[in-house]
Every structure is written in C-alpha cells, then in structure tokens.
Amino acid sequence: MKIFETNWEGGDGIHFFMQGWEPTYGRPKAVLALIHGLGEHTGRYAHVANALSGSGYVLIGFDLRGHGKSGGARGHFPSLETVLEDIRQFFQQVTQRHPETPQFLYGHSIGALLALTYTLRRGAALQGVIATGTALHTPLREQKAKVALANSLGSIAPGLTLSSGLDPNTISRDPEVVKKYSSDPLVHDRASLGLGKASLSAIDYCLAHAREFPDPLLLMHGMDDVLCYPSGSKDFARLAQDGGADVTLKLWEGLHHEIHNEPEQVEVFRTMIDWLDQHVK
C-alpha cells in the first residue's frame, strides 16, 4: 500500500491536510473520498484503507476545517455552505490525483451527514455513497438548551465553542480503540455554535429531501450506537427507497458507534467491499 500526504489552501485561507492510501500494484477499481466524524481526523482510518487497498480500492480523506492537521478554530464550521464548498474543493484534489478513476463518497457520523447533504445539494456524479453511524438522530435534539443556542446564536456568534460531550467509551467495545482515541493529540471535544447550526440545517435538509437521493447508497449503523441513533439511518433509508433510490441498509446488532473499530470490523469491511464490487462501473 502506498501512502501520500499533501495540503491545499481553501478560498478563505484555511489550509487543509489530505492523505491517501493507494494499492501498490495495478489500476485501482475506484477511489473512496472520506469525510471523518466530529472531533477526529483521517489518520484514524488507516486500517480501513488497508482493507480497501487489498481489494483494489483507494481511500483518500481530508481533515475537516477545525480538525486534525487542517487549519481553523478547533471544532468550528462558519456555515454549512462553507463546509460543502470545502468538500467540493476536496473532490477537485481527488480528481486531479485520479482523473480517470470512478468515485465513491464515504462518510462517518457527522461526516456521513455531510456526505448525504453534499450528494443531495451538489448533485455529485458519484458511483455511490457509503454512510456509517449517520448523525441524523442524535442526543443533540434532546439537549434543548444547546439547540436553542445553536439556532439563536449560530449566526450571531458562530465561533463560540462548547464541549461536544462525547463519551469515548461509547465509540467502541474495544478498550484499545477507546484508549488510543482518548490519548490522541489530534482528537478534540470542541463544537462551535456554527457547527451545531450547520449540523441541524443538514439534518433537516436531508430528511426533507431524502426521496430525491440520486446515487446508490450503503447505510450501515450499529444497533447499540448511543451517539447517533440507528433510527436516523432507518428513516433515511425508508424515505430514499420511497423515492426509488438504490439503498442497502445494514444494521449491526450489538455494535457501537464506530462499526469500523469494533471487534467485528473484518465483517464490516467485507460488507463494504462486496457492495463496492457490485456498484463500481
């Protein structure tokens, strides 16, 4: 497997870090553009890339603004449109590196929410989308004070940050995963009001327009996920299928939020690869 790292500067001066993992030999079947979750970074997906590379797939990800090795205030999104533009620029970088390779979009958690939103809003001409642990139904909706702050001050004081309240013990049943996450210097627990407002806007948009989803979609969710409830993936799958979309919903009994970091991860990777093999053209 070949690994590369690079950077680019966004239109507003933010520097973005991008890295990728490519098969050592042969022409890749497709490239997966990765959007990671809240407070984490693309480096946590190297083992996912290893599994995909072994089956002929490229994984390329960028650290969202305010995350990992990218610039910007930690955990801050100025607006949903700003982040969607970041993703558009990311795809430009991916296409420059692999101009003739079919493209899939792969997102986890808030990254999955952004992946669905981007596909709906920007009409991405993709081979398909993989979304895991999608942040459509979350405890945020139950925290009325935070919702009120995000809605009322998200435009006035978008840079105001709060703790995300994420409990590392809920991401995986593997204690080593939790230990590494908790000690990772690139992981943080910050979320700005701008990010909160952007997330709420994306949730509302996705559920309102799910019937218009244009591309094949693999939705996977751990049934014991308490960070992003599986009901969100169920609802989106039902709505998208009602609109005629090619949707595969896979619910994993007993798995927590990061299904790619659970003891059953090999089965998760096999499901992803089998679906990719069926949809790559």
Span 181-229, pLDDT tens digits: 999 999 999 999 899 889 999 999 999 999 999 999 999 999 999 999 9
Report how far Cα 224 is from the mean position of its chain's Cα atoms. Answer: 19
pLDDT of residue 149: 53
- By the 8 A CB rule, do 150 and 200 touch? yes
Q: How many domains does the chain have?
A: 1
pLDDT of residue 140: 66
Examine the pLDDT at 87 and tell me if it is beyond 60: yes
Examine the pLDDT at 156 and tell me if it is beyond 80: no
Gap between the Cα atoms of 42 and 40, Å rounded: 7
Residue 159: band (very low, low, confident or very high) from pLDDT cuts 50, 70, 90: confident
pLDDT of residue 124: 66
Q: What is the mean pLDDT of residues 101-129?
A: 94
Tokens of 101: 């390779």
Show contacts of 78-85: CB within 8 Å, 24+ apart: 78/158, 78/159, 78/194, 79/158, 79/194, 79/197, 79/198, 80/117, 80/197, 80/198, 80/201, 80/202, 82/12, 82/198, 83/114, 83/198, 84/114, 84/117, 84/118, 84/121, 84/122, 85/10, 85/11
pLDDT of residue 164: 84
% residues pLDDT > 70 (the chain): 93
Examine the pLDDT at 157 and tell me if it is beyond 90: no
- Point out the catalytic residue in the list 53, 70, 76, 109: 109
- Point out the catalytic residue in the list 221, 257, 260, 279: 257
DSSP conformation class of 258? -
DSSP conformation class of 98? S
In terms of residue numbers, what domain contains 149? 2-279
Span 33-46, pLDDT tens digits: 999 999 999 999 99
Number of residues written out for the chain = 281
Q: What is the mean pLDDT of residues 239-267?
A: 98
Contacts of 183 (CB under 8 A, 6+ apart): none
Q: What is the mean pLDDT of residues 224-242?
A: 98
- Domain of residue 190, CATH code: 3.40.50.1820
Examine the pLDDT at 53 and tell me if it is beyond 60: yes
CA distances in angstroms from 181 to 37, 40, 165, listed in the order given = 13, 8, 15
**What average pLDDT does the chain have?**
93
Examine the pLDDT at 146 and tell me if it is beyond 90: no
Examine the pLDDT at 96 and tell me if it is beyond 80: yes
Q: Could you give phi then psi for residue 108, rounded to 5 degrees?
A: -125, 135
Secondary element (H or E) of residue 95: helix 80-97
- The question of whether 109 is a catalytic residue gets the answer yes
- The question of whether 225 is a catalytic residue gets the answer yes
- Point out the catalytic residue in the list 67, 137, 225, 233: 225
pLDDT of residue 258: 98
- The question of whether 257 is a catalytic residue gets the answer yes
